[in-house]
């Protein structure tokens, strides 16, 4: 059985950490409410990665 590949970039590590929190039910939004949506969890992960200095392009406003 092949092992899972670990996240390589700082952005991937941050998103991986946030998604793990989401799956465990520990992820909270800025207001303190529990996150129930997978899309919201991804958005939080991308936002945190951007704040940490990762070079991630900004969200495309036309797709929201």
Q: How many residues does the chain have?
A: 64
Inter-residue contact 48 to 30 (CB < 8 Å): no
Q: Is residue 60 part of a domain?
A: no
Kindly report, residue by residue over 1-21, the tens digit of the pLDDT.
556 666 688 888 888 999 999
Boundaries of domain holding 34: 10-54
Kindly report, residue by residue over 19-53, the tens digit of the pLDDT.
999 999 999 888 989 999 999 999 999 888 888 88
Q: Is residue 3 part of a domain?
A: no
pLDDT recorded at residue 21 = 93
pTM higher than 0.75, yes or no? no
pLDDT recorded at residue 1 = 52
Which tokens in the block code for residue 46? Answer: 């991308």
pLDDT recorded at residue 34 = 93
Structural domain total, the chain: 1
- The candidate with the shortest Cα–Cα distance to 52, out of 14, 24, 21, is 14
Q: Is residue 43 part of a domain?
A: yes
């Amino acid at each position: 059985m092949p092992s899972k590949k670990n996240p390589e970039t700082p952005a991937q590590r941050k998103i991986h950490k946030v998604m793990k929190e989401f799956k465990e039910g520990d992820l909270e939004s800025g207001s303190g409410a529990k996150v129930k949506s997978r899309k919201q969890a991804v958005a939080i992960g991308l936002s945190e990665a951007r704040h940490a200095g990762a070079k991630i392009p900004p969200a495309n406003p036309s797709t929201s």
